[in-house]
């Protein structure tokens, strides 16, 4: 007799204060507002670079006697052809200051501004923990990884949204560990009529990840499993620029044909950079960059995803051993690091088309995917 998965719903505990603080800071950044970041007695005012306008920049400037500093990732700095740290975050300091247009040129390779030379007149300094936390917060907000900051005096602005730098840096892990099932329903699919969807929500109230459970998997066995990062353009619209839609529907069909298994639909669009930034990367690809270099031009790493949420979902379902459908060895290693045994890597390959051949070649030659 097989043992069924545990998808029982349990009352959620109240979210820890740090999760709430970071969630509020994310929302504030996305609205183009100033956030206060604290670290070991220091306080800074922070704006997301892509949300900077002359009026918001003026408000930020008024909070300090020191001119604003621009933060960029080392990857974005390298894309600009500016010497600086090889990794991490860089501080751009100018004796005359930065205007909104200059900040846009520095932060966004897709900015609709008359092309010209990279702005000059600044010096580059390495960033440290607080600056790394600022860039991490911009990434969590699915904004470009670029910020504008000023040091604050002892007086924090009225009605300020305040967050600690260590809370930001620990946020992804804390959110993943708080995932719990909050809803479950039977959803017959065209390729798998015996299917149900379980929604997992983090305790900060953030976006849900989904588990598509097909058939009746036995957790005492190695379960056929696919980790699928959401792809609005490929999954929903049938975009030919990637193979995501083929992989999603193909995995559902293969799991159904095998009798049972689980597909985890993970909310990490565009290898973790978000839909808007993925569209920016597409714009850069049309200008001649490959899929990895486009991400680097934007200032991101080539892959910003983490797989702790997937491991936590499997654990909540009572699954600790899988046969993983993937061409990406990094997924195998990531699950193993988080306590999920990968008994077998199951190849998951589909024919290319005229629009995604270069994309798939880049994944094979630069990201180590096995096709």
Same CATH topology for 17-169 and 178-268+305-366: the answer is no
Dihedral angle, C-alpha 76, 142, 201, 332, nearest 10 °: -30
Q: Is 62 annotated as a binding residue?
A: no
**Predicted pLDDT of residue 106:** 93
Whether 366 is catalytic is no
**Predicted pLDDT of residue 229:** 95
Q: Is 28 annotated as a binding residue?
A: no
Residue 1 predicted with pLDDT over 50? no
pLDDT in tens, 205-216: 789 999 999 999
Q: Is 244 annotated as a binding residue?
A: yes
Closest CA to 332 of 226, 246, 249, 201: 226
pTM: 0.90
Q: Is 134 annotated as a binding residue?
A: no
Distances (CA, A) of 159 to 22, 67, 168, 293, 368: 16, 23, 20, 40, 48
Query: Which residue in this structure is represented by tokens 């009225």?
Result: 158
- Phi then psi for residue 280, to 5 deg, are -60, -40
> DSSP letter at 39?
E
Percent of the chain with pLDDT over 90: 70
Q: Is 86 annotated as a binding residue?
A: no
Q: Is 10 annotated as a binding residue?
A: no
Q: From CA 41, how far away is CA 66, in angstroms rounded?
A: 18
Residue 254 predicted with pLDDT over 50? yes
Token representation of residue 108 = 């966004």
Out of 303, 315, 321, 323, the active site residue is 303
Q: Where are the alpha helices (DSSP H) in 161-286?
A: 165-169, 171-177, 244-258, 269-272, 275-286
The CATH number of 17-169 is 3.90.870.10
Q: For residue 353, count other CB atoms closer than 10 A to its CB.
A: 12
DSSP string, 74-142: HHHHHHTT----SSSEEEEEESS---HHHHHHHH-TT--S---PPP-SEEEEE--HHHHHHHHHHHHTT
* Domain residue extents for the chain: 17-169, 178-268+305-366
pLDDT in tens, 277-310: 999 999 999 988 888 889 999 999 988 999 999 9
User: Residues near 188 by Cβ (< 8 Å), separated by ≥ 6?
Assistant: 194, 195
Token representation of residue 88 = 């991490």
Q: Is 230 annotated as a binding residue?
A: yes
Out of 76, 241, 305, 316, the active site residue is 305
Whether 39 is catalytic is no
Q: According to the CATH classification, is domain 178-268+305-366 in 3.40.50.300? A: no
User: Residues near 31 by Cβ (< 8 Å), separated by ≥ 6?
Assistant: 51
Q: Is 242 annotated as a binding residue?
A: yes
pLDDT in tens, 42-79: 999 999 999 999 999 999 999 999 999 999 999 999 99
pLDDT in tens, 221-233: 999 999 999 999 9
Closest CA to 313 of 245, 222, 212, 216: 212
Residue 2 predicted with pLDDT over 70? no
């Amino acid at each position: 007799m097989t043992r069924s998965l545990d998808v029982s719903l349990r009352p959620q505990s109240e979210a820890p204060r740090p999760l709430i603080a970071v969630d509020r800071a994310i929302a504030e950044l996305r609205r183009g507002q100033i956030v206060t970041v604290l670290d070991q007695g220091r306080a800074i005012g922070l704006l997301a670079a892509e949300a900077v306008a002359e009026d918001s920049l003026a408000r930020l400037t008024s909070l300090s006697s020191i001119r604003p500093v621009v933060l960029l990732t080392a990857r974005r700095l390298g894309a600009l052809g500016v010497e600086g740290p090889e990794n991490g975050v860089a501080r751009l300091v100018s004796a005359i200051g930065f205007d909104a247009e200059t900040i846009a040129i520095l932060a966004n390779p897709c900015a609709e501004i008359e092309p010209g030379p990279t702005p000059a007149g600044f010096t580059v300094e390495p960033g440290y923990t607080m600056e790394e936390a600022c860039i991490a917060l911009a990434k969590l907000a699915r904004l470009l990884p670029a910020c504008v900051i000023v040091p604050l005096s002892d007086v924090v602005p009225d009605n300020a949204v305040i967050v600690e730098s260590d809370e930001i840096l620990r946020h992804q892990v804390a959110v993943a560990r708080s995932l719990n099932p909050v809803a479950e329903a039977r959803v017959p699919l065209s390729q798998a009529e015996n299917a149900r969807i379980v929604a997992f929500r983090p305790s900060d109230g953030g976006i849900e990840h989904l588990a598509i459970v097909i058939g009746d998997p036995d957790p005492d066995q190695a379960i056929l499993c696919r980790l699928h990062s959401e792809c609005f353009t490929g999954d929903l619209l049938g975009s030919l620029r990637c193979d995501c839609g083929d992989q999603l529907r193909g995995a559902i069909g293969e799991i159904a044909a095998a009798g049972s298994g689980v597909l985890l639909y993970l909310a990490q669009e565009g290898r973790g950079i978000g839909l808007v930034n993925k569209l920016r990367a597409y714009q850069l690809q049309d200008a001649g960059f490959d899929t990895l270099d486009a991400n680097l031009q934007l200032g991101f790493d080539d892959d910003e995803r983490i797989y702790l949420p997937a491991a936590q979902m499997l654990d909540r379902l009572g699954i600790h051993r899988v046969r993983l459908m993937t061409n990406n060895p990094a997924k195998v290693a990531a699950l193993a690091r988080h306590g999920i045994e990968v008994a077998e890597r199951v190849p998951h390959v589909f024919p290319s088309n005229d629009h995604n051949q270069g994309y798939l070649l880049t994944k094979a030659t630069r990201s180590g995917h096995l096709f």
